[in-house]
Amino acid sequence: MSEKNIVRYSADEIRRMVADGKGRTNLDRLGTITDEEIEAQMRDDPDWADFMDIDWSKATIVYPIPKNPVSIRLDKDVIDFFKAQGKGYQTRINAVLRHYMQEARKKAG
């Protein structure tokens, strides 16, 4: 992104602009834009390039569940594997265990 396109406002400046009706959102246009126009704009947006052709129909909503701290002994190579993938290794281990649990429940149920 070019530095010349970055504009900074304080919270007070934004409040004054909104109160004066100087917001940059074209609310009338938002009410008339079609799904086809939205999709065309998304296809032109490089930030969406990797997400446009994903099948989202099987996506599930995941609500955070409170975690319980536990002490568990795992093989060193297992820990090394997950840590090597970067920050969040405990979350990834939890996801693997959750997937196993869900599959086991499917077979049992």
Q: Identify the band that residue 2 occupies on the pLDDT scale cut at 50, 70 and 90.
A: low
Most confident residue range from 12-21, 31-40, 49-58, 98-107? 98-107
Contact 92, 85 (CB under 8 A): yes
d(CA 16, CA 100): 54
What digits encode the pLDDT tens for the residues 14-40? 888 888 887 777 777 888 999 999 889
Kindly tell me the sign of the dihedral angle through the C-alpha atoms of 98, 99, 102, 108. negative
What are 7's two structure tokens? 């504009």
